[in-house]
Amino acid sequence: MSPEDALELVIEQLEGVGRAEDPDQDGTGADESGSQDAPAFLKLRKIKQATTREGQIDNLVEMLRTFGSPGYPFAGDWARSVATVSHDRSPRDPKSTQRQLAAGRAQKIPPISGIHVPALVFCGREDPIIKPKASQDIAARIPGAKLVIYPGMGHSLPEELWPDMVGRITALAGLS
């Protein structure tokens, strides 16, 4: 699925979504399912569909910025490079969103409780898509998993955190 199709999918899914009735008690902006609500998704809905290559690339960069990590600098040059490669590899195809949805719904994925290898669950405290509670639930369902929540991190992996992440992964794998 191209990033533009992913953006379209997110926007389509928002059509019937409103804010949760109960006020957010944990400050994450998410409902009990672990899905985030309004701010980032409302921002995405305001992005006008582009008709030119450059406009579509600009939209992809804006999507990366929206889901990024507010506690870290936005890597604008990297984002534009990734958006350009992504667009040029797979320009927007309006029919692909429905194909991707159908393919995803057809998959039968075993429960994560069946994972029996060392596991790390990384989470951004400021993730605009998945709140920390959802990551806590995931880690709790994987026997022996370790949860790492990074303040300032959104739904991206800031380069500044890579050394820590790599260190944790190599230690868990017994390679340090």
Output the pTM of the full model: 0.69
Region 133-137 average pLDDT: 94
Per-residue pLDDT of 85-113, as tens digits, reads 988 987 766 677 677 777 777 777 788 88
Examine the pLDDT at 14 and tell me if it is beyond 50: no
Q: Is residue 138 packed enough to be buried (19+ CB in 10 Å), middle (13-18) or exposed (0-12)?
A: middle
Q: Is residue 1 packed enough to be buried (19+ CB in 10 Å), middle (13-18) or exposed (0-12)?
A: middle
